[in-house]
Structure 1
Amino acid sequence: MLTALSIRNIVLIDALDLSFGPGLGVLTGETGAGKSILLDALGLVLGNRADTALVRAGEDQASVTATFEFGTLPALLQDALEEAEVEIEPGEPLIIRRRLKADGGSKAFVNDQPVGVALLRTLAGALVELHGQHDDRGLVNPRGHRMLLDRYADADVAGVAAAWEDWRKARSKLAAEREAIEQARADQDLLLAHLSELTNIEPQEGEEETLANSRTDMQKGEKLAGDLEDLRTVWDGSDSPLAALRVAARKLDRIAPEHPLLAEALAALDRAVIEAGEAEEKLQAAGEALQHDPLELDRIEQRLFELRALARKHNCQVDDLPEVMRGLRAKLDAIEQGDADLADLEKAERTAHEVYRARAEALHGTRVGAAMQLDEAVAAELAPLKLDSARFKTAVAEQPEEKWSAHGMDSVEFLIATNPGADFAPLGKIASGGELSRFILALKVALAEQGGAATVIFDEIDRGVGGAVASAIGERLARLANGNKGEGGQLLAVTHSPQVAARGRTHYMIAKSNEGTVTKTSVALLDAEGRQEEIARMLSGAEVTDEARAQADRLLEGA
């Protein structure tokens, strides 16, 4: 709720600091004292257009700061602040500040963090609900009527929303499967052609690297063929160096026992024979590996060309071609299996649809029953508020299936007829602002809630009425303020009615004074004596009489 409002240099207000508490707070004062200035100032922190005419004459800038405190921060506020990356600790007050320059432009802050004005407008719906002569928000807006009726009925909206989500997923899955199968059938001939082409080649994972390495070796073999042939002539035959070494080793073996140096020479020669043998084996292996076969080289190059051409065709790597084959087979298999899978998905979608419809129809019945009760409750409030001829109707209408949603199959709108025989029309079509405010009050009392806003403000709801009607308005305002969600609600009323003013838990008097050529507006929190005097003034006019004071006392005692 709103706990503090600080205003600097707004029109006739140079500096004003107000504190507010729970319950019904009333603001009174003579006509023209400046009550609208307070509402305009509050509108700035709620995101209203920054009008430079609000800046006090002679000042460079103006500012308004509003402080709101909550037991638990409402979800709408929490989500909006998180999305805007505004940090607020649990239990910390929400402080909104708007600064307006005389030469144009404004800045907004939430807990001293700069924000856009759009965020203020988003927060406003959960902070303050204003009902005045030109009300176009709150209960007047039909977008919130369904939610209000569901709260009143304690309806199972969550169950319908869950069923809707299940149905939505089933429909999406069915549609996706149908699209996939239809696309696959349209491409079936192309799929078969692609699969046949791949099957004829039968690509293998890792094949490209193996073929490329083989081709490289063959190309090297072609280049080294002459040198390898020369080396083979050196090592082959009985006159080769290796053969001569072996002959020398056999001869030395016979005489080596005769002297240690001969034995060492034999060992060295044996090592040479072994190393030479290994060299011969390596040369033979290299010759075989680098063997140049023109036909085989052509085959490898042709294979590589075909594989790489297919990879380009399917926009993949050569090693991915086996997976492409598997994917093509899966699509073709899906065409064959598609009818069976489709039948299962269609059955699941029908089942989800039936569950949703059953729950939505049950919700419709709950809404219709609750609408009748709400109509009766509102009707009971109309006569005391001097709306005897008015009629109220909660219109619950089933929508066509294409308009069904997680909220059910209904549209809900509050309608009224202000005169006998007149057609029902939306709340916002009421001609009289005073009637509209009283009608909204009747609806709020019947709903026994405040529409979600932390603070509700009624601006001159008692315009044009007095006596018993004003008393009825005051009684209902107090009841509404004291019964909000069990947390001590807050309702502020700008009023000219002494009967309404007497009901306030707190009373603020707005006054205008002149100091030479300077005019100022001030606001004072009245004590018991001050309340008696102000209510007496409201009763008697310019001259406060003892009789008016006595009547004021009676009003205060009866409140």
Structure 2
Amino acid sequence: MLTHLHISNFAIVRALEIEWQPGMTTITGETGAGKSISLDALALCLGERADGFVVRPGADKADLVATFDISKLPAAQHWLAQQDLAMGNECIVRRVVGSEGRSRGYINGVQVPAQQLKSLGQLLLSIHGQHAHQLLLKSEHQRQLLDAFADHPTLLQAVKQHWKDWQQLKQEYQQLLTSQQQREAQRQLLEYQVAELDQFAPQQDEFAELETEHQRLSHSAGLIAASQQGLELLTECEEGNALSLLKQASYLLGDASQIDSKLAGIEQMLQEALVQVEEASRELRRYGEKVEVDPERLNDIDERLSQWLTLSRKHQIPNDQLFLHHQHLAQQLQQLAGDDDRLAELELAIARAARSYSEAADKLSQQRQQAALELSHKIERSMAELSMHNARFEIMLQQLPLDKANALGCDHIEFLVSTNPGQPLQAMHKVASGGELSRISLAVQVILADKVTTPTLIFDEVDVGISGPVAAGVGRLLRQLGAATQVICVTHLPQVASQGHQQMFVEKYTDGVHTETRMRTLQDDERVQEIARLLAGENVSASAIANARELLCTP
């Protein structure tokens, strides 16, 4: 609830400190004194648009600070915690507006944008102006009121989730369906490409192996000649070869090492070389026997490599990537085939999701129907208390077809009213006057008081256009509302002002040069005088004072 308001250099207020109490607080004062100025300051403090004209003439800035007790406001506590702005059970909101029009907002001492002030403000208080009851004509607001009275947030959330799931499946299905023609063209291209590559059948690492074999076959004659010459030099040349020369050197050094043992190591090295030469000769002979001149195989490899290069250029990929590219295209083709299967799966899933949504929406409709009957009776009784004795009220629910449903269910909700005997029930905007709408709106507020999420309700002259018994009924209902939540009401009616648990008076002073508005809490005798003034005008009589005392003693 609102506990304190500081106003400095705002409009015609120089400095003002207001302590606010629980229950119903009424604000009265002379016409033009600025009864709504504290409410305007609150609205500005909580994010309303600001400009330099709100700054008191001669001052460089206006400073507005509102303090709230949020110990019983879990929604506000959660919001502040999410924004890293929490400060225990108290919340201090500040707005500074410069004379040049720039403003700064603060929450618990941290500077924030105006949008954050507005978001928090919706969790702290709700301001109802003279025309706020016009909101009651909107179908969406009527639905919100009925759902608040029915108090079924879990069911509402379930309907929203089923709706979301259903719409997501429908969206996926539509996207697949829309791209079907494009996918068909892509499928035809992939089928041709995959079939061509299937026929060619590239194998992993095949290109490198083909290049190696092609290199060997194209130089086979030279390889054979080289291996034969190598054998000649190593072992087969009768005029002299490496093997015979090594043997001769080994024999010589073998004899010499008998004389000088230092030559034994060299002779051992020659023996090892003999072994290596003999092994090399055997390997070279085997190699020469296996190397063959195969023009037909060489031609086949040439043709294979040519096709490989052609396909690589065609698909614009490196030569060694053809195998992987073939696998990738095959996977794409398989995925496209899977899209058709997915379409069939989605059709079944959409039907199941629609049934789940419909079942949840039906349960919601049933609860709304029950709540609508109860709320209609309660509103009708409250209307009678507000001197609408012959009025009838009914909440009509019309179940819409599934194709016109939404995340909030399948119900079209409309408040119907008849204000005169014999008059049929009709939509509120067709038959209800502004004063009647204001009374119906107030009746709804009182009935839903225990469902209200904002702990402070502000009414800015919502009682305009009513008087007498109606005003007394409005006053009683506002006081009843104040028992459940903090109510602040700017009024000019004594029947309403007298119902407040406390009353504040707004007065304007001028010295001929400067004008200033002040606001103070009235004590008992002062309150009697103010109620009497509202009853009789400036010339307060003894009967007016007696009447004022009677009003104040009749809660």
Mapped pair 1:98 → 2:95 = yes
Could you state the TM-score of these two structures normalised by the residue count of structure 1? Answer: 0.81
**Structure-1 residue corresponding to 2:47:** 47
Q: In structure 2, what is the Cα distance between the partners aligned to 1:418 and 1:54?
A: 42
Which 10-residue stretch deviates more, 244-253 or 270-279?
A: 270-279
| Contact 2:50–2:103 under 8 Å retained in 1 | yes
Q: CA deviation at 1:327?
A: 1.1
1:28 maps onto 2:28 in alignment: yes
Q: Does the Cα contact within 8 Å between 1:374 and 1:447 map onto a contact in 2?
A: no
Question: 1:387 is matched with which residue?
Answer: 388
2:199 maps to: 200
Report 1:196-345 matches (<5 A).
196-207=195-206, 214=212, 232=230, 235=234, 237-238=236-237, 239-250=240-251, 252-253=253-254, 260-273=261-274, 298=302, 301-302=305-306, 304-306=308-310, 308-309=312-313, 311-312=315-316, 318=322, 320-328=324-332, 330-331=334-335, 334=338, 338=340, 345=346
- Distance (Å, rounded) in 1 between the aligned partners of 2:58 and 2:47: 24
Pick closer, same or farther for the CA change 1:221–1:507 going to 2, 3 Å: farther
Q: 1:257 deviation in Å? A: 5.2
Q: Write out aligned runs for 1:118-197 (5 A).
A: 118-135=115-132, 139=136, 141-155=138-152, 156-172=155-171, 174-175=173-174, 185=184, 187-197=186-196
Structure 1 distance, partners of 2:351, 2:5, is: 57
- Structure 1 Cα separation of the partners of residues 111 and 285 of structure 2: 82
Cα deviation for residue 266 of structure 1 reads: 1.5
Contact 2:509 2:516 in 1 (8 A): yes
Contact 2:13 2:517 in 1 (8 A): yes
In structure 1, stretches of 5+ residues that fail to align are 484-488
1:490-528 per-residue CA deviation (whole Å, 9 max, x = no partner) reads: 111112233322322232211111234221101112334
Shift of 1:378: 1.0
2:426 is the alignment partner of 1:424: yes
- Aligned residues of 1:46 and 1:121 also touching (Cα < 8 A): yes
Q: Distance in 1 between matches of 2:134 and 2:323?
A: 64
Contact 2:460 2:489 in 1 (8 A): yes
Partners of 2:531 and 2:548 within 8 A in 1: yes
For 1:113 and 1:216, the matched residues in 2 are separated by: 78
8 Å Cα contact 1:11/1:56 also seen in 2? yes
Aligned partner letter, 2:502: T
Aligned partners of 2:426, 2:279: CA distance in 1, in Å? 109
Give the partner amino acid of 2:57.
A
- Kept after mapping to 2: 8 A contact 1:8/1:16: yes
Cα displacement (A) at 1:243:
4.2
Partner secondary structure for residue 7 of structure 2: strand
Alpha-carbon distance in 1 for matches of 2:335, 2:536? 90
> What SS class does the counterpart of residue 35 from structure 1 fall into?
coil
Query: Which one is further off, 122-131 or 452-461?
Result: 122-131
SS in 1 for 2:553: helix
Is 1:471–2:467 an aligned residue pair? Answer: no
Partner of 1:355: 356
Which one-letter code corresponds to 2:12 in the other structure?
L
Shift of 1:167: 3.1
Partner residue in 2 for 1:512? 508
Taking a change above 3 Å as real, the CA distance of residues 181 and 102 of structure 1, as seen in their structure-2 partners, is closer
In structure 2, C-alpha distance between the alignment counterparts of 1:542 and 1:309, rounded to whole Å: 102
Per the TM alignment, residue 35 of structure 1 is displaced from its structure 2 partner at its CA by: 0.9
What residue in structure 1 maps to residue 481 of structure 2?
480
- Name the structure 2 match of 1:486: none
Question: 1:368 — aligned with what?
Answer: 369
**Which string of whole-angstrom CA distances, capped at 9 and with x for unpartnered residues, describes residues 93-113 of structure 1?**
343322223233333333343
SS in 1 for 2:189: helix
Query: Are the equivalent residues in 1 in contact too, given 2:71–2:89 (CA < 8 A)?
Result: no
Superimposed CA distance per residue, residues 517-543 of structure 1 (whole angstroms, 9 cap, x where no aligned partner)? 221101112334443343343344334
Q: Which moved more, 1:36-45 or 1:248-257?
A: 248-257
Stretch moving more, 167-176 or 42-51: 167-176
TM-score by length of 2: 0.81
Residue matched to 1:108: 105
- Could you report, residue by residue, the CA deviation over 1:92-135 in whole angstroms, capped at 9, with x for unpaired residues? 53433222232333333333434333344444433332222232
Alpha-carbon distance in 2 for matches of 1:167, 1:237: 88
Answering whether residue 400 of structure 2 is matched by residue 407 of structure 1, we say no
Of residues 520-529 and 105-114 in structure 1, the stretch that sits farther from structure 2 once superposed is 105-114
**Cα shift at 1:252:** 4.6
The aligned counterpart of 2:8 is 8
Q: Distance in 2 between matches of 1:30 and 1:227?
A: 125
The change in CA–CA distance for 1:45 and 1:463 in structure 2 (over 3 A counts) is same
Conserved in 2, the CA contact under 8 Å of 1:129 and 1:138? no
In the alignment, the residues of structure 2 paired with residue 334 and residue 97 of structure 1 have an alpha-carbon distance, to the nearest angstrom, of 59
**Consecutive unaligned residues in structure 2, runs of 5 or more:** none
- Alignment RMSD, CA only? 4.3
The alpha-carbon distance between structure 1 residues 543 and 164, as it changes in their structure 2 partners (threshold 3 A), is same
For structure 1, which segment, 18-27 or 295-304, has the greater mean C-alpha deviation from structure 2 after superposition?
295-304
Q: Match of 2:496?
A: 500
Distance in 1 between residues matched to 2:51 and 2:430, nearest whole Å: 26
The 2-side partners of 1:522 and 1:516 are apart by 16
How far did 1:477 drift?
A: 1.0
With over 3 angstroms needed to count, the CA separation of the structure-2 counterparts of 1:139 and 1:104, relative to structure 1, is same
CA contact (8 A) 2:148 2:451 kept: no
Moved more, 254-263 or 51-60: 254-263
Higher mean displacement: 231-240 or 16-25: 231-240
Measured at CA, do residues 173 and 474 of structure 1 come closer, stay the same or move farther in structure 2, by a change above 3 Å?
A: same
CA contact (8 A) 2:509 2:515 kept: yes
Distance 1:154 1:63 in 2: 40
Residue type at the aligned position of 1:491: V
> What percent identity do the matched residue pairs reach?
32
Larger mean Cα displacement after TM superposition, 31-40 or 448-457: 448-457
CA deviation vs aligned residue, 1:245-300 (integer Å, no higher than 9, x gap): 144325655775565345333213224445667888999999999x9997588457
The one-letter code matched in structure 2 to 1:440 is: S
AA partner of residue 501 (structure 1): A
What amino acid does structure 2 have at the position aligned with 1:60? D
Contact 2:9-2:61 at 8 Å conserved across structures: yes
Q: Which residue matches 2:521?
A: 525
